[in-house]
Chain A
Amino acid sequence: MRPFSYSRAQSPAEAAAQAAQVEGARFIAGGTNLLDLMKLEIETPLHLIDVNDLALDRIEATPEGGLRIGALVRNTDLAADSRVRKDYGVLSRALLAGASGQLRNAATTAGNLLQRTRCPYFYDTHQACNKRIPGSGCAAIGGVTRQLGIIGVSSACIATHPSDMAVAMRLLDARVETVRPDGTTRVIPMADFHRLPGNTPNIETALSANELITAVTLPAPIGGTQVYQKVRDRASYAFALISVAAVVQANGSGRVAVGGVAHRPWRVEEAEQLMPDGAKAVTQQLLAGATPTHENEFKVTLVERTLASVLSQVRAAS
């Protein structure tokens, strides 16, 4: 690990301002992903700004009837919050399907959104990776691709976003609140938060330099039967091959988002119009234009079958 200096920020605006003043500064909260990548020297910050003292660890009701989740709320606490369990079950389920108990105790809401891909070519510093070293190429293309992306990919990158939580946040139309170094704040819808790789897969989110996430807000509950189904190579503590998050209403309408297939949680609102027609119709529209490899074309079938399983669970529950 490269040497770095360290400071603790006392307010979100101060943290963002500090980050802009120091070359190579990064925020650290849970650290479960950043520190791992620092050990491998994939991340090489010169300075860490510890944001754990910021009072961003509460979940509060919003005037609109939703919830404001502080950026530092730990994954365990978000999954266990009684309001989330009652009204946003798909979010609790997504969180509980991810990582291990130890990691969920440390990992934060904002950090979960910002975690880096688990593409093995990103982790192996001997391989070309446009995400790690822009312009160096992509060794994953033509390599071992079973775990990698099938849609929204580019000739520069076929990595996926690894988060389960982000899939549920996208499904629920969550919004990301931030503060910038000049003290201004803004709100970024989850639909716009994660970028497709394009020619700049190293730029993963809509955040500008040194912009700090302060909260993630959920709109008022939308009811329905909420399911998060994750398919992985072992029963626990593994990243998704694919996952399906769904909210299905009594009349058969609903929403679907998919994880493990793209550089961001994958949701196509037009495909949701086909929910009453069943899993095949939805999947055809949802994954239209997919460009899987021979090794990961199974993911297309897996999405359809997992969605069919989800819809049948919903029918059984209602």
Chain B
Amino acid sequence: MNDRDLMTLTRRKFLIVGAVTASSVALPPFISALASAANIARPVTSAVTLEVNGVSRQLNLDTRTTLLDALREHLHLTGTKKGCDHGQCGACTVIANGRRVNSCLTLAVMQQGSKITTIEGLGTPDTLHPMQAAFIKHDGYQCGYCTPGQICSAVAVLDEIRQGIPSHVSTSLTDQPELIAREFQERMSGNICRCGAYSNIIQAINEVAEATA
């Protein structure tokens, strides 16, 4: 498609939605040609590049695809779990550009160029991440469904404390927050465990915190 086609389509769309005057021309065609209001009932796809666990991955995705679904359904990285799909349970927690997020509440297209770490990228069965090893040692799960999210979250929690980010239970806003159970409990509240393995999860985090203090 050449530039002239794009311009024509863009202007037609403008006429359809009646949102601009006839004098408005030469606006950038910032919307894909598929995206006119007239055919919006059809899915719109977009190219997305993500760096997942150190590997660049190119995808062509329906714009509605969440990061979670891109990981699970398109890249077949099924370690990351879908629990509630509404940001309430934390099973989908991954680390995006160094920060833990709910992968169900961000679109893959919004993560263009992001560096994503999933449970598969933290460690392998032969070379476990210390947090994975600690969860096994302390029996930090029963069914295991929430565990990948718990572990990604826990790894990020220790980072956040070391960066000096305070929490709701930090006694002082200005002192360095402590690596203590009360802090871990508060900071892990976005990860729900239906089996109730919470006390063992806190023991696992505590062990990693002490080992790396």
In angstroms, Cα B66 to Cα A86, docked, is 37
Given contacts A46-B37, A86-B174, contact A101 B105 (CB under 8 A): no
Q: Is the CB of A3 within 8 A of B63?
A: yes
Is A31 an interface position by the 8 A CB rule?
yes
**CB within 8 Å of B: which A97-128 residues:** 97, 99-103, 105-106
Q: Is the CB of B109 within 8 A of A6?
A: yes
Nearest A-chain residue to B34, judged by Cβ: A5
B-side interface residues, number (CB < 8 Å): 57
Is A60 an interface position by the 8 A CB rule?
no
Given contacts A22-B17, A236-B189, contact A92 B110 (CB under 8 A): no
Query: Which B residues touch A20, using CB under 8 A?
Result: 19
In angstroms, Cα B109 to Cα A103, docked, is 18
**CB within 8 Å of A: which B51-78 residues:** 62-64, 66
Nearest B-chain residue to A29, judged by Cβ: B110
Shortest distance from the beta carbon of B197 to any chain A beta carbon, whole Å: 17
Is A295 an interface position by the 8 A CB rule?
no
In angstroms, Cα B18 to Cα A4, docked, is 19
Given contacts A35-B106, A35-B107, A92-B173, contact A4 B63 (CB under 8 A): yes
Q: Is the CB of A22 within 8 A of B110?
A: no
Q: Is the CB of B37 within 8 A of A102?
A: no
Query: Per-position contact with A for B18-38: 1 when CB-CB < 8 Å, else 0?
Result: 011000000100111011010
Shortest distance from the beta carbon of B37 to any chain A beta carbon, whole Å: 5
In angstroms, Cα B101 to Cα A30, docked, is 10
Is B157 an interface position by the 8 A CB rule?
yes
Which of A47-55, A185-193, A261-269 contacts the other chain? A47-55
Is A28 an interface position by the 8 A CB rule?
yes
Given contacts A21-B19, A80-B166, contact A1 B173 (CB under 8 A): no
In angstroms, Cα B90 to Cα A236, docked, is 14
In angstroms, Cα B145 to Cα A127, docked, is 33
Q: Is the CB of A106 within 8 A of B101?
A: yes
Is A76 an interface position by the 8 A CB rule?
yes
Q: Is the CB of A80 within 8 A of B44?
A: no
Given contacts A36-B87, A39-B86, A101-B160, contact A85 B166 (CB under 8 A): yes
In angstroms, Cα B30 to Cα A269, docked, is 46
Q: Is the CB of B105 within 8 A of A35?
A: yes
Query: Which A residues touch B42, using CB under 8 A?
Result: 3
Query: Which B residues touch A47, using CB under 8 A?
Result: 31, 35, 40
In angstroms, Cα B99 to Cα A52, docked, is 16
In angstroms, Cα B44 to Cα A1, docked, is 12
Shortest distance from the beta carbon of B70 to any chain A beta carbon, whole Å: 14
Is A18 an interface position by the 8 A CB rule?
yes
Query: Which B residues touch A23, using CB under 8 A?
Result: 17, 19, 37
Q: Is the CB of B109 within 8 A of A50?
A: yes
Query: Which B residues touch A79, using CB under 8 A?
Result: 165-166
In angstroms, Cα B165 to Cα A183, docked, is 37
Q: Is the CB of B189 within 8 A of A18?
A: no
In angstroms, Cα B111 to Cα A30, docked, is 11
Is A224 an interface position by the 8 A CB rule?
no
Nearest A-chain residue to B35, judged by Cβ: A5
Query: Per-position contact with B for A233-258: 1 when CB-CB < 8 Å, else 0?
Result: 00111000000000000000000000
**CB within 8 Å of B: which A110-164 residues:** none
Is A68 an interface position by the 8 A CB rule?
no
Q: Is the CB of A105 within 8 A of B100?
A: yes
Q: Is the CB of B86 within 8 A of A36?
A: yes
Nearest B-chain residue to A6, judged by Cβ: B63
Query: Which A residues touch B8, using CB under 8 A?
Result: none
**CB within 8 Å of B: which A8-35 residues:** 8-9, 18, 20-24, 28, 30-32, 35
In angstroms, Cα B177 to Cα A85, docked, is 13
In angstroms, Cα B87 to Cα A99, docked, is 10
Q: Is the CB of B63 within 8 A of A22?
A: no
Query: Which A residues touch B187, using CB under 8 A?
Result: 101
Query: Which A residues touch B31, using CB under 8 A?
Result: 5, 7, 22, 47
In angstroms, Cα B106 to Cα A31, docked, is 6
Q: 10 A-B residue contacts at CB 8 Å? A: A5-B40, A21-B20, A23-B19, A28-B110, A31-B105, A39-B86, A96-B166, A100-B90, A101-B188, A237-B190
Other than the known A50-B109, A236-B185, what 4 A-B pairs have Cβ atoms closer than 8 Å?
A: A48-B107, A76-B99, A93-B168, A237-B189
| Leading 7 A-B pairs by shortest Cβ distance | A100-B190, A5-B35, A236-B189, A237-B189, A23-B17, A85-B173, A105-B99
* A-binding residues in B (CB < 8 A): 13-14, 17, 19-20, 27, 30-32, 34-35, 37, 40-44, 46, 62-64, 66, 85-87, 90, 93, 99-102, 105-107, 109-110, 112, 153, 156-157, 160, 163-168, 170, 173-174, 185-191
